[in-house]
Chain A
Amino acid sequence: DIVMTQSPDSLAVSLGERATINCKSSRTVLYTSNNKNYLAWYQQKPGQPPKLLISWASTRESGVPDRFSGSGSGTDFTLTISSLQAEDVAVYYCQQYYSTPPEWTFGQGTKVEIK
């Protein structure tokens, strides 16, 4: 299994400030033949299902505000919220979809709150 580990477990950030969430995989999720990282980020607000924010480690989904960005490659990834808004309060998860056979593991989640 590929184990996904996020840090921190929670963070409190002032409105307008930057929030940074890290995700580390136990093995690479970079497929060298196409140079794609098989890593997604999701946002989950209370009482709601997850929402896909970012695919391929850095490609924002349509409609996702550009204050959200993803970076990293191989085993180390980052989700950055450049200027935290009140509506960004949520739990954020990374997920790998690299492993063969498929076993799409999630990180444990990072809770983002307003300071």
Chain B
Amino acid sequence: EVQLLESGGGLVQPGGSLRLSCAASGFTFSRYAMIWVRQAPGRGLEWVSLITGGDSSTYYADSMKGRFTISRDNSKNALFLQMNSLRAEDTAVYYCAKASRTIVASDFDYWGQGTLVTVSS
């Protein structure tokens, strides 16, 4: 059974940093692209970042470039999101999700339950 479990969320002050983790199980983690998607309170889904399964190429939404870093540790079946220079507008539930197929251009068939990040003084 595929499982994704996010952790690392919490309350952080503006300008601060936070590192999110996503523990994956039930599939061959290294073969699949993974993404982070966020959802601000009462708002829609926003794609944050993607990391490929093969060469771990990384891609970011424009508003996250330079502040967020996605990475993965295939030996530990773990996905990460390092978030720096956090702003109030980064407050959201952050989901990790697994690509449906072992190609980059894929939708996402399994999602974690999410971890809440609150940026506030």
Contacts and interface: CB of A to CB of B under 8 A. Distances in A.
Contacts of B95: 49-50
The interface centre, meaning the residue of B45, B46, B108 with most chain A CB atoms within 10 A of its CB, is B45
A50 B62 CA distance: 23
A93 B45 contact: yes
Contacts, number: 58
A112 to B, nearest CB: 14
Contacts of A50: 37, 45, 95, 97, 108, 111
B35 A104 contact: yes
A98 interface: yes
A44 B113 CA distance: 12
B35 A108 contact: no
B59 A49 contact: no
A38 B105 contact: yes
Nearest to A1: B62
Given A38-B105, A103-B59, A103-B61, A55 B44 contact: no
A108 B104 CA distance: 23
A61 B106 CA distance: 13
A52 B46 contact: no
Contact of A106 (B45, B62, B105): B45
B53 interface: no
Given A52-B108, A106-B44, 6 more contacts: A42-B45, A49-B114, A50-B45, A50-B97, A55-B107, A103-B59
